[in-house]
Amino acid sequence: MKIIDLSMPLDKKTPTYPGDPSLEIKQVAEIEKDSWNEKRIHINTHCGTHLDAPSHMISEGRTLDDFPLEAFSGKGIVIDVRKKEITLHCLKDITFPPKSVVLFLTGQADQRYQKYYENAKFLSKEVAKKLVEQNVKAVGIDSFSPDEEPFPIHKILLSKNILIIENLINLDKLVNRTFTILFFPLPIKEGDGAPCRAIAFAQ
């Protein structure tokens, strides 16, 4: 069993969605002066590796604290789309375990520190609807979003209480492997989303 970190490091280089404030980590206490070290973090709920709850895009949608802890883990599947578009053809011959977590490897994370928001791949509506039919638990991607404005994929998935995990990394290490993924969010009351530590336990 190997543990693989799927979470983007949080530092001044962490990409933030265009229009959002940058992540700020400030040293507010130092051992030499205060007898301890302490940092203050200023971060949006949708920065770094994070979850989208239904309330992020759906009026009266469920918030993160409406979900049991069991919602944030499951059997994972990685679909490698680095050399193809994300269409129904990508799902051909795939067997979805009950309540699986489907992750799309686009390769976008490899350029997260430069041109991250250029030439991204997005899910088609047909793919999103197929995932709903398969009763998946969550959908993740190694990119900033599974779609763009007006965010139809978000709305298809979130309206069915399928969580979305964005800004994953290291999905290439899970190709053709059996694994369980855990992606527990910060316990923000009535959270529309939250940073999470996503990890995989792989065979």
**pLDDT range class, residue 177, cuts 50, 70, 90:** very high
The predicted model gives 191-201 an average pLDDT of: 98
Q: What is the pLDDT of residues 130-161, one digit of tens each?
A: 999 999 999 999 999 999 999 999 999 999 99
Question: What is the rounded distance in angstroms from the CA atom of residue 112 to the CA atom of residue 118?
Answer: 10
Which run of H or E residues covers position 156?
A: helix 152-158
The pLDDT value recorded for residue 157 is 98
Looking at domain 2-8+44-202, its CATH class is alpha beta
| Residue 44 pLDDT exceeds 90 | yes
Tokens of 3: 């543990």
Q: How many CA atoms lie within 13 A of 66 on its CB side?
A: 15
The pLDDT value recorded for residue 93 is 87
Read off the amino acid at residue 163.
Answer: L
The pLDDT value recorded for residue 187 is 96
- Taking alpha carbons only, the member of 55, 46, 58, 57 closest to residue 20 is 46
The predicted model gives 112-139 an average pLDDT of: 97
pTM: 0.96
Which run of H or E residues covers position 165?
A: strand 163-166
- Taking alpha carbons only, the member of 159, 153, 155, 131 closest to residue 61 is 159
Q: What is the pLDDT of residues 27-41, one digit of tens each?
A: 999 999 999 999 999
| Residue 60 pLDDT exceeds 90 | yes
Helices within 56-178 (DSSP H only): 125-133, 152-158
- Taking alpha carbons only, the member of 168, 156, 184, 182 closest to residue 79 is 168
**pLDDT range class, residue 111, cuts 50, 70, 90:** very high
Q: What is the pLDDT of residues 67-89, one digit of tens each?
A: 999 999 999 999 999 999 999 99
Average pLDDT value over all residues in the chain: 97
Tokens of 153: 């994929």
